[in-house]
């Protein structure tokens, strides 16, 4: 009997459970390293790498759940929590950069928490912003993950083959993707700004959805 690599559809319930487990595991590893030897530069770098992986899996989980939520609105509680968690993980990567706190998005009005705007419009504004931002940070988040680096774009799953049910790119496509990403010169400050903006949007969007779940009216 030959062994074949099992590839699950990214929206399969086992895939979602795996993202959840890995996000928590990497977060715990990062916390343990920092608690054990906070003064070690080597451990700090490794902890940051674990934190990036945790944020990446949290973001992948939120993006995957988004596609399920489009067909099953009853998932709204989990959907809200996943976006909030992803946002918090991303913001933790740029923690301490106070200059970002005064930034706001000029493309949407989410930060105004306008509950007179309908939910579809809130979601449209959110996706319009993060769809542009996530590809800019994804390579940075996924560059050290053997599985993550094969994910092209967590927010856009249209490229997934309907027959293969796989989130994995082919070896050639993966290599080309990585090469293209690596050739882009991304300033560290620009990357931190993008990470903040993605995290900022995720937390606010999750908060708005949670408010809806708790009974606050978003629609007039």
Q: Residue ranges per domain, the chain? A: 13-213
> pTM value?
0.81
The C-alpha atoms of residue 88 and residue 206 are separated, in whole angstroms, by 10
Percentage of the chain lying above the pLDDT 90 cut: 40
Helix (H, G, I), strand (E, B), or coil: what is residue 169?
coil
Does position 5 have pLDDT exceeding 60, yes or no? no
What pLDDT shows up at residue 211? 85
Mean pLDDT rounded to a whole number for the chain: 79
What pLDDT shows up at residue 3? 47
Higher pLDDT, 88 or 217: 88
End-to-end alpha carbon distance in the chain: 61
Positive or negative CA dihedral for 159, 164, 168, 172? negative
Do residues 58 and 93 touch, judged by C-beta distance below 8 A?
no
pLDDT tens, position by position, 28-73: 999 999 998 888 889 999 999 999 999 999 999 999 999 888 888 8
**Cα–Cα distance list, 61 to 15, 41, 54 (Å):** 9, 30, 11
What pLDDT shows up at residue 136? 92
The C-alpha atoms of residue 139 and residue 150 are separated, in whole angstroms, by 10
What 8-state DSSP symbol labels residue 110? G
Higher pLDDT, 16 or 164: 16
Higher pLDDT, 24 or 162: 24
pLDDT tens, position by position, 140-170: 999 888 888 878 889 887 656 533 444 444 4
What pLDDT shows up at residue 38? 81
**How many residues are there in the chain?**
220
Cβ neighbours for 10, distance < 8 A, ≥ 6 positions apart: 60, 64, 157, 160, 167
Do residues 105 and 127 touch, judged by C-beta distance below 8 A?
no
Helices (H), 70-187: 76-93, 119-142, 171-183
Structure confidence at residue 114 as a pLDDT band (50, 70, 90)? low
Does position 97 have pLDDT exceeding 90, yes or no? no
What pLDDT shows up at residue 170? 40
Question: Residue 59's closest CA among 124, 112, 8, 135?
Answer: 135
DSSP-derived secondary structure for 9-64: -TTSHHHHHHHHHHHHHHHHHHHHHHHH-TT-HHHHHHHHHHHHHHHHHHHHHHHH
Question: Residue 132's closest CA among 105, 94, 150?
Answer: 105
What pLDDT shows up at residue 102? 54
What pLDDT shows up at residue 172? 40
Higher pLDDT, 92 or 121: 92
Neighbours of 219 (CB within 10 A): 12
Average the pLDDT over 130-144 and give the result.
92
């Amino acid at each position: 009997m030959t062994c074949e690599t099992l590839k699950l559809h990214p929206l399969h319930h086992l895939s979602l459970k795996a993202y959840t487990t890995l996000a928590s595991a990497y977060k715990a590893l990062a916390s343990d390293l920092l608690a054990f030897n906070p003064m070690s530069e080597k451990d700090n770098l490794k902890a940051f790498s674990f934190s990036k992986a945790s944020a990446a899996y949290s973001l992948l989980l939120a993006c995957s759940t988004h596609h399920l939520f489009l067909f099953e609105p009853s998932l709204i509680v989990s959907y809200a929590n996943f976006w909030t968690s992803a946002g918090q993980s991303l913001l933790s990567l740029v923690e301490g950069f106070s200059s970002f706190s005064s930034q706001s998005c000029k493309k949407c009005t989410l930060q105004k928490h306008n509950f007179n705007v309908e939910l579809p419009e809130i979601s449209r504004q959110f996706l319009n912003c993060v769809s542009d931002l996530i590809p800019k940070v994804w390579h940075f988040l996924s560059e050290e993950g053997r599985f993550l680096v094969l994910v092209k774009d967590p927010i856009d799953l249209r490229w997934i083959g309907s027959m293969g049910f796989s989130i994995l790119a082919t070896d050639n496509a993966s290599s080309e993707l990585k090469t293209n990403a690596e050739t882009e010169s991304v300033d560290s400050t620009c990357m931190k700004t993008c990470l903040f903006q993605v995290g900022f949007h995720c937390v606010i969007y999750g908060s708005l959805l949670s408010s809806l779940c708790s009974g606050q009216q978003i629609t007039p």
